[in-house]
Amino acid sequence: MSKISETTRKTWIENTFPEWGTWLVEDIKNEKVPEGNVAMWWLGCTGIWLKTPGDANITIDLWTGNGKRTHGNGKMAPGHQMANMCGARKMQPNLRNIPFVFDPFAFKSVDAVLATHYHQDHMSPEWAAHVINSGMTTVNELGEVIPVPFIGPKKSCDLWRKWGVPEDRLVEVKPGDSIRLKDIEIVVLDSFDRTCLVTTDTTDENRDELTGICPTDMDDKAVNYLIKTPGGNIYHSGDSHYSIYFAKHGKGHDIDVAFASFGENPVGMQDKMTSVDCLRMAEALKANVLIPIHWDVWTNFAPDCEEIKLLYDFKKDRNEYQFHPFFWQVGGKYTYPADKNKIYYHHPRGFDDCFEHPQNIPFRCAL
């Protein structure tokens, strides 16, 4: 058959998607984390893969979805959290702004699946299905082989349950809980995701009425995590907004690396931390490194991370900051503390083996 006759939309999708194929999956599998370090890969949005010297592998907020793919009827559901927040009814133009850098079905093992909350860009039915259907197991703190647990607040567990995750796999957590797996400890802390507070169970006209009602269910809806590892303590803030209570977490825990959900909020919105919020968060947590995330994914919330750098440089001496920012790229690896002094990430550039083999050019100075 000719190339033209055998090419279809189906073959195009299978040959192109996910854009990175299994490249990153292979990188993670082959990584040998040095003693006294912890390796992390940014999977996009707030998704993190974390790996330790003891071969503990956990995912936090791994997500495999997308945003808008058609204009549809041009309307937002009246009970969507953004509609609840600002009273908008026009469709939110949040298109996915990054490639898929991993194939969830190519992973062969993981030790725990964590979710900070139940919004659609922080959980993945595809990842859950693969972990369940492939029979992945791990080892608990007693050395017993157990099925891989799904760890999250009540609302996340409710969603996993709805998808068909078996009851015995679900570990419902709230602030104050801790779980040990291999050489890590997962400490559950308060979330400050106020967008979760205005998320209702239904999104149609029959949405729950929130007006005048004091919310009391944050711990059911969202949590933050502190992952204690041989290489340092990693703070994942989920979709938290800024809160003065970050200072409480900073006083109660040693925090090395802090992830902050950064974005350029459209007028009428307060869904992501601003550049100032991110700096205040890192200072309050007494972190060593601040890493902004989530800024990558939505076209309508896209910020410029140089704003954080500019304000950091402007304020660091006066405020005597004891941390510095690190600006990551999706699909990139960050190893702490080996990379602790880096400011910017660049994907491997290659060609380090130049001139190790004969050239094939007309004369030496041709290029």
CATH code for the domain of 256: 3.60.15.10
Question: Domain limits at 244?
Answer: 18-331
Whether the Cβ atoms of residue 202 and residue 169 lie closer than 8 Å to each other = no
Find out whether 150 and 158 touch, Cβ atoms under 8 Å.
no
3-state DSSP call for residue 84?
helix
336 assigned to some structural domain:
no
Q: Give me the number of domains the chain comprises.
A: 1
Domain annotation covers residue 254: yes
354 within some domain: no
Residue 352, domain member (yes or no):
no
User: In a structure prediction context, what are the per-residue pLDDT tens digits for the chain, which is 367 residues long?
Assistant: 799 999 999 999 999 999 999 999 999 999 999 999 999 999 999 999 999 999 999 999 999 999 999 999 999 999 999 999 999 999 999 999 999 999 999 999 999 999 999 999 999 999 999 999 999 999 988 889 999 999 999 999 999 999 999 999 999 999 999 999 999 999 999 999 999 999 999 999 889 999 999 988 999 999 999 999 999 999 999 999 999 999 999 999 999 999 999 999 999 999 999 999 999 999 999 999 999 999 999 999 999 999 999 999 999 999 999 999 999 999 999 999 999 999 999 999 999 999 999 989 888 876 7
**111, 57 Cβ separation under 8 angstroms:** yes
Strands 112-114 and 257-261, sheet pairing: unpaired
ω into 18 cis (within 30 of 0): yes
